[in-house]
Amino acid sequence: MEMNGTPALHGYLMPAEWEPHSQCWMGWPERPDNWRDDALHAQTVFAKVATAISKFEPVTVCASAAQWENARSQLPENIRVIEMSMNDSWFRDTGPTIVVNKSSASSGAQAPKVAGIDWNFNSWGGVDDGCYRDWSLDLQVARKILSTERLPRFPHSMVLEGGSIHVDGEDTCLTTEECLLNKNRNPHLTKGQIENELKAYLGVMKIIWLPRGLFGDDDTNGHIDNMCCFSKPGVVLLSWTDDKTDPQYERSVEALTILSDATDARGRKLQIIKLHVPGPLYMTEEEAAGLNQDGEAKPRLAGTRLAASYVNFYIANGGIITPQFGDKKWDGEAVRVLSQAFPKYEVVGIERAREIVLGGGNIHCITQQQPAIPTNAAKLD
C-alpha cells in the first residue's frame, strides 16, 4: 500500500537501531566483478554474519534465482531464504528504512503501525560516479521487501542510502556533508532542503553534520556508518586513529571538534567514545586478481586502501555483531570498547570481515533491521 504525505505527518519516526527488531534483512552476494573468486569467500562471511544475527533475532536472506539453492545450503534452517533479484547485496542502502508509529503506544489505543521508506537509489553516484552502471534491480528491493511484509510504503524521489544516516531514536540524526551534499546525489536540493526531507521522513528534529566520512570510503562518498554512530542517546562512537601521519587522523580530529561542540535535539552535550580503526589495510595483488575486472562494476585495484572500520557493526536484539579484520592489536580493542559501550549486549566478532570490506562495505552495510511494533521505548541503561 502506497502512503500519501510524509511519515512524520502520519506520526512515524525511525527508531534507533537498539530498539527491538522483528527481524533482519540481508542480500546474498554473487557479482564476480565486485566479489573475488565468484563471491565464494564473501558468501562464507555473509553466512557467518546471518548465522550470528539469527541467534538474537529472525533473519531473512534474499538470493537470486541462480543463487537460491547455494544460499539455502550455506545457511542454517532457522534463517528464511527467499528469492529476489538484485544488482548487489547492500541491503542497508537498497532496502527500506523502516519506521514506526509510537503515537498510540502510550494511549493504549490500537497497536502502532510499521511502515517503510522507499528512497531513490543511483548506485552511490549515478552513471559517472556510481559503483556499477545498471542498478535497475536494486531500485525494486525496498518495494519488494515492504510488499513481502505487507507494510505500507512511503516512496521518495530523493537519492539516499541507509548507510548515510544514523539516528538516536530521540529526534537526532547524524550524517555527512561529503555524501548527502555530493553533487552526484541530489544536485537540485540545498542543504536546508535535504534537512527538511530528513526531518519529514525520519521524524527527527535536528541533524548533526560531519564534513567527511572515513578516509578511503570513496565507494559511498563517506557514509556515516563507517565513521560515527550512536550507541545510546547522547553517546557516539567515532572512528579514530592515534597516528598523526594517517590521512584518517585529520578527519577524525575534525569530527571530534564538531561533535564536542554539538548538542543533540534534547540539548545534551555528546559523550564521544573513540573506536580505533584497524590497519591501515590494503587490497592485495591476489585479491584484485580474483575479480572479473571486465565487468561493469568500478575497478578494484591492488594497493587500494580498504575503508575498514569497527563502527560498521550491527545492533541485534541483545547482540552486537562486529567486524574483525585479523588485526591483533585493534580487533580485541574494538570488542573491549564495544562491550563497555553496550554492557547488556553480547559482542560477537565476525572473523574475515575483510572479505566484505573488499567489496566496499561492512556488516552494517549488508544488514537492514525491521523494527518491531513498539510497546514502549527501548532502554539501554
Catalytic positions, written as ranges: 365
- The gap from C-alpha 200 to its chain's centroid, in whole angstroms, comes to 20
Helix or strand run (H / E) with residue 24: strand 21-27
* Residue owning grid cell 535497475: 136
- Is 274 strand, coil or helix? strand
CB 59 within 8 A of CB 333: no
- Look at strands 153-159 and 114-120 and give their pairing: parallel
CB 229 within 8 A of CB 270: no
The per-type count for the chain, helices as H runs and strands as E runs, is 11, 17
Q: What span, in angstroms and rounded, lies between the C-alpha atoms of 184 and 161? A: 13
Strand-pair partners of 21? 371
Q: How far is CA 210 from CA 26, 166, 184, 213, 225, in A?
A: 28, 12, 18, 7, 12
Task: Please provide residue 119's backbone torsions phi and psi, each rounded to the nearest 5 degrees.
Answer: -70, 160
CB 378 within 8 A of CB 18: yes
Q: What span, in angstroms and rounded, lies between the C-alpha atoms of 366 and 211? A: 24
Q: Quickly count: other Cβ atoms within 10 Å of residue 271's Cβ.
A: 12
DSSP 80-93: EEEE---SS--HHH
Q: Give the residue among 190, 113, 106 at the shortest CA–CA distance from 154.
A: 113
Burial 288-320 (b: 16+ CB within 10 A, else e): bebbeeeeebbebeeebbbbbbbbbbbbbbebb
- Is 158 strand, coil or helix? strand
